[in-house]
């Protein structure tokens, strides 16, 4: 049964002009939990390099601390576990859990101070859902940083409105939203560069016509978000919006499917997207590939990518596939 292929629609590869690849669990297959721990360590190092406290390097990876589907509240810095109706079941601020058992009245008072009805709306501008296995080290990273500021009261004090911290010696305000953005930026490019270099070699960008990080699927397929350019030497995102052509060898942050199709002169049926995540990669895309077809394509399209790397041609070129445009979206 494992060798069989199941399809839910016909597909003419000779009509496909562009193939998009997800990275996590598609181009890069991970060993867990070692890969999550490595992502956590690399991200900590990146944050320290851009100015976060050196002591954060001493933080140990705790695989058992967080599970998938936690929510991070960018306003109050809370990791939340909710039910299907968005009612809060448990809450962590850093590594401190708001306890019900020891003093239920205190828990109720503490949680209701921030969430009056013990309920939080799923507002994407405020709530980030950590719903994949690759979000696990990110959740731990957020908790570790909040915990550090919480436990170093001699250097940092909580803001009166409880939306972040203030550094005592520099009069510097650090909102939870800034911590979240720094963590996302630390993970995105460092994560992509390190893993793709390991999987396909240091010249991996030559295999793709367009490389996009911080795709933030499924929003990438649904919303209008501008492209920004990444400095591949530093990992920094450029200021302002990238309005020119999408150039091979460069790396872009964000963007959206509609703008990508416009700049590449493509239509929906010209594109085949290969992914692994049912919600992010399948349910929200016009061109749908099922998991079994996806696995089959990964085995065969790697030969196409390798052929391009060494400048040779594959048999499919005779059928018109030499016009392929390959895109990596992370």
Segment holding 81, helix H or strand E = strand 78-82
Segment holding 106, helix H or strand E = helix 104-114
Beta bridge pairs of residue 227: 254
Residue by residue, DSSP assigns 180-223 as HHHHHHHHHHHHHHHHHHHHH-TTGGGG-SEEEE---TTHHHHS
Q: Residue 105: inside a domain, yes or no?
A: yes
Query: Which of 114, 130, 146 corresponds to the end of one domain?
Result: 130
Which residues contact residue 20 at a Cβ distance below 8 angstroms, ignoring those fewer than 6 apart? Answer: 271, 272, 273, 274, 326, 327, 328, 329
Q: Residue 186: inside a domain, yes or no?
A: no
Instruction: Pick 304 or 139 by higher pLDDT.
Output: 139
Could you give the CA distance from residue 120 to residue 106 in angstroms, rounded to a whole number? 19
Tokens of 108: 């109720």
Q: Residue 310: inside a domain, yes or no?
A: yes
In this prediction the pTM is 0.67
Q: What is the pLDDT of residues 186-199, one digit of tens each?
A: 776 667 887 788 88
Over the Cα atoms of the chain, what is R_g?
22
- Which residue in 2, 22, 169, 315 is the catalytic one? 22
29 pLDDT tier (thresholds 50, 70, 90): confident
Question: Residue 255, by phi and psi: left (phi above 0), alpha (psi -120 to 50) or beta?
Answer: left
- Which residue in 24, 214, 294, 326 is the catalytic one? 24
Query: Which of 83, 102, 130 corresponds to the end of one domain?
Result: 130
Beta bridge pairs of residue 173: 166
Could you give the CA distance from residue 296 to residue 5 in angstroms, rounded to a whole number? 8
Domain span at residue 93 reads 69-130
Count of the separate structural domains present in the chain: 2
Q: What is the pLDDT of residues 222-261, one digit of tens each?
A: 788 999 998 888 777 888 899 889 999 999 999 988 899 8
Tokens of 183: 């963590």
Could you give the CA distance from residue 268 to residue 6 in angstroms, rounded to a whole number? 22
Taking a C-beta distance cutoff of 8 angstroms, is the pair 139, 66 a contact?
yes
Taking a C-beta distance cutoff of 8 angstroms, is the pair 281, 273 a contact?
yes
Instruction: Say which DSSP state 230 is in.
Output: E
Could you give the CA distance from residue 132 to residue 272 in angstroms, rounded to a whole number? 23
Q: Residue 135: inside a domain, yes or no?
A: no
Taking a C-beta distance cutoff of 8 angstroms, is the pair 157, 165 a contact?
yes
CA angle 246, 252, 253 (to 5 degrees): 140
Task: Check pLDDT > 90 for residue 209.
Answer: yes
Segment holding 164, helix H or strand E = strand 164-167
Active site residue 24: yes
Q: Tell me which residue of 36, 28, 45 sits closest to 134, measured CA to CA.
A: 36
Instruction: Say which DSSP state 24 is in.
Output: B
Q: Residue 315: inside a domain, yes or no?
A: yes
Q: Residue 104: inside a domain, yes or no?
A: yes
Taking a C-beta distance cutoff of 8 angstroms, is the pair 261, 254 a contact?
no
Judge if 195 and 324 occupy the same domain: yes
Q: What is the pLDDT of residues 6-23, one digit of tens each?
A: 566 677 778 888 888 888
Q: What percent of the chain has pLDDT over 90?
A: 27
Torsion of CA 266, 267, 270, 273, to 10 degrees: 90
Query: Helix 176-200 and helix 136-150: axis angle, to 10°?
Result: 140
Give 78-86's long-range contacts (Cβ < 8 A, gap of 24+). 78/114, 79/139, 79/142, 79/143, 80/120, 82/120, 85/119, 86/119, 86/120, 86/121, 86/122
Judge if 219 and 304 occupy the same domain: yes
Q: Residue 146: inside a domain, yes or no?
A: no
Instruction: Pick 66 or 317 by higher pLDDT.
Output: 66
Task: Check pLDDT > 80 for residue 100.
Answer: no
Active site residue 214: no
Judge if 199 and 303 occupy the same domain: yes
Judge if 124 and 208 occupy the same domain: no
User: What CATH number does residue 224 fall under?
Assistant: 3.40.50.1000
Q: What is the pLDDT of residues 284-327, one digit of tens each?
A: 554 433 333 333 344 444 444 444 444 444 444 444 333 456 66
Judge if 228 and 290 occupy the same domain: yes
């Amino acid at each position: 049964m494992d060798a069989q292929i199941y399809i839910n629609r016909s597909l003419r590869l000779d009509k496909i002009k562009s193939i998009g690849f997800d990275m996590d669990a598609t181009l890069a297959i991970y060993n867990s939990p070692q890969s999550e721990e490595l992502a956590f360590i690399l991200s900590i190092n990146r944050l320290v390099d851009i100015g976060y406290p050196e002591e954060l390097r001493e933080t140990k990876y705790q695989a058992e601390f967080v599970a998938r589907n936690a929510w991070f509240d960018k306003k109050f810095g809370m990791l939340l576990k909710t039910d299907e109706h968005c009612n809060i079941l448990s809450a962590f601020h850093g590594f401190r859990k708001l306890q019900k058992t020891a003093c239920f009245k205190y828990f109720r008072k503490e949680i209701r101070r921030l969430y009056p009805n013990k309920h939080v709306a799923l507002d994407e501008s405020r709530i980030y859902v950590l719903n994949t296995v690759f979000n696990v080290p990110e959740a731990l990273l957020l908790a570790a940083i909040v915990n550090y500021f919480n436990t170093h009261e001699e250097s940092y004090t909580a803001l009166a409105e409880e939306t972040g911290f203030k550094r005592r010696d520099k009069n510097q305000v650090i909102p939870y939203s800034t911590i979240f953005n720094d963590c996302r930026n630390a993970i995105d490019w460092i994560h992509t560069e390190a893993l793709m270099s390991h999987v396909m070699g240091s010249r991996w960008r030559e295999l793709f016509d367009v490389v996009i990080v911080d795709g933030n699927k499924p929003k990438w397929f649904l919303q209008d978000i501008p492209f920004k350019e990444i400095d591949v030497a530093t990992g920094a995102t450029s200021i302002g919006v990238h309005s020119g052509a999408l150039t091979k060898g460069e790396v872009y942050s964000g963007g959206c499917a509609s703008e990508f199709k416009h700049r590449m002169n493509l239509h929906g049926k010209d594109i085949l997207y290969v992914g692994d995540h049912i919600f992010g990669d399948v349910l929200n895309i016009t061109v749908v590939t099922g998991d079994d077809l996806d696995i089959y394509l990964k085995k065969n399209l790697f030969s196409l990518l390798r052929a391009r790397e060494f400048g040779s041609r594959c048999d499919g070129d005779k059928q018109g596939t030499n016009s392929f445009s390959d895109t990596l979206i992370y």
